[in-house]
Chains A and B, each alone.
Chain A
Amino acid sequence: MNDLTHPSLDDLADLHEGLLPPARERSLAAHISECDRCSAASAALDDVTHVLSGATSNPPPMPDPVAASLDEALLRASRERAATVPSLSQYRASSRPEAVSARQSRWTWVAAAAAVVAIGYAGVSVLDGSSGGDEAATADSGAGQDIASRDAVRSQPEAASGEDTPSSDRPEAGGLRTLNRKTLPGVAGRLATTRTTEESRLVRDCPSVDVTDDDQAAVVRWRGVRALLVVDRSTRRATVYRCTGDADRLFTTQY
């Protein structure tokens, strides 16, 4: 390629992207302004960007089989996680409480779980430093359990002697009901109409808590932490808030 002939498409594209040295840029621009063919080629490069961006306005829907397979994989991952966490929390009683924040310890747990998976799959190609096979998430590991048990203990020292039985809604030693998907309808249906001091304070002082006088509110234990359950019985809507800090909403669901 030399200046006596037309520039290549690569040169023109580089010009568009600002990749050429200034002197070359000037000579090419001068050439294009006088050359219909190169002017058309230059416009065609813009057309490419136009065609590509236009193709995004109407994205192809995910095919149903792909969506179904994805939903199934995510459901499996979710179940594996749910099955893993309670079994780990049984180790609370033998663990030492440690002064770490909820978020830190949760991240520690995730990092530990990732490490467990990585160890289990050493030598296997893993995606971007993260987990490999599905079944690895349920792998029992002393290290993972220890970390998770500390996680479960840290905000619950008063309930550390209680056993976390996921399928039971009986009040524990600390008087807190354990909330999970199975126990939610039972717990929600039997909440007392009166509120304890803590419940009243949370309802009154935390603007993030969306509750009316008709709603029931109770402190429960959800995944090892104290949480405020707010139930609107008329719509069978249950919302769970964190008991600490600004009482962030954790989730809302129908029961």
Chain B
Amino acid sequence: MTRGDDRDDLTLLRSHVEGDPDAFSELVHRHRDRLWALALRTTGHPDDAADALQEALISAFRRAGTFRGDSQVTTWLHRIVVNACLDRLRRRQATATFPLPDDDDRMPLLAAPASEDAAVASERRADVLAALRQLSDDQRAALVLVDMEGYSVEEAADILGCAVGTVKSRCSRGRARLVPLLTSYGGNPAGPGDVKPVVPVVSPRAERRHAADPHGPTGGGAS
């Protein structure tokens, strides 16, 4: 397998279509951490992420000839991965009756961090991941693409196959739900009863952060 290949993504993809046995593998290797992060955030669960990602990339391997070149190769890969993730979540919901476990994704994430910085970074990632999991699948996918991957709402709508207004609405409601989970603003300005209280992040670190904030959660009531 060639590493340090200097061909660009599009050349690699075309070489793969022409029969180069290593080109696709090189392409995946080049982007695999980012694709993994995308799958992990979109599914919220490492097992689903691993399965969906593999399924997506084998699919991409086989249908590379249909890539029209009207977007970046990475965008094309992201589209396939995100939709594979959502497809997997839908299938899971159609068959599973048990809720997803909350914490087991931290095992691979926290395994042997290389340094204290790495440990902090991975714990922060776990906080974000746990918070994202509180969202609906559609809200999470929209926010992952727009706020995390940096796509415009128009691009996200194209990737997800829905209207721009739908993406905006999912992002909006998703951010509102994440406020008490990811920021020191713990309450809702409209007061209790206006929205259902959201389960706090099950992270000691997040709780410490909230407790330590001098401005503190402003709490609920506009009574």
Contacts and interface: CB of A to CB of B under 8 A. Distances in A.
A127 B147 contact: no
Given A38-B189, A70-B54, A137-B62, A9 B195 contact: yes
A38 B149 CA distance: 28
B56 interface: yes
Contact of B23 (A38, A51, A251): A251
Contact of B36 (A6, A60, A106, A242): A60
B176 interface: yes
Contacts of A99: none
B111 interface: yes
A69 B54 contact: yes
B62 to A, nearest CB: 5
Given A63-B111, A111-B65, A6 B222 contact: yes
Contact of A19 (B2, B17, B80, B172): B172
A56 B144 CA distance: 10
A59 B21 contact: no
A60 to B, nearest CB: 6
Interface in A34-71: 35, 37-38, 40-41, 43-45, 47-49, 51-53, 55-56, 58-63, 66-67, 69-71
Contacts of B109: 60
A13 B84 contact: no
B116 interface: no
Contact of B59 (A7, A82, A131): A131
Q: State which size class the interface on B falls in.
A: 35 or more
A137 B148 CA distance: 35
A127 B48 CA distance: 14
A106 B13 CA distance: 13
Interface of A: 1, 5-14, 16-19, 35, 37-38, 40-41, 43-45, 47-49, 51-53, 55-56, 58-63, 66-67, 69-71, 73-75, 77-78, 81-82, 85, 106-107, 109-111, 113-114, 117, 125, 127-128, 130-131, 134, 137, 181, 222-223, 242, 248-254
A19 B165 contact: yes
Nearest to B147: A52
B55 interface: yes
A59 B63 CA distance: 27
B189 A7 contact: yes
Contact of B169 (A19, A49, A60): A19
B21 A48 contact: no
Given A13-B172, A45-B179, A60-B37, A71 B222 contact: no
Nearest to B161: A128
B87 interface: yes
Contacts of A38: 189
Contacts of B84: 127-128
B206 to A, nearest CB: 11
A43 B189 CA distance: 12
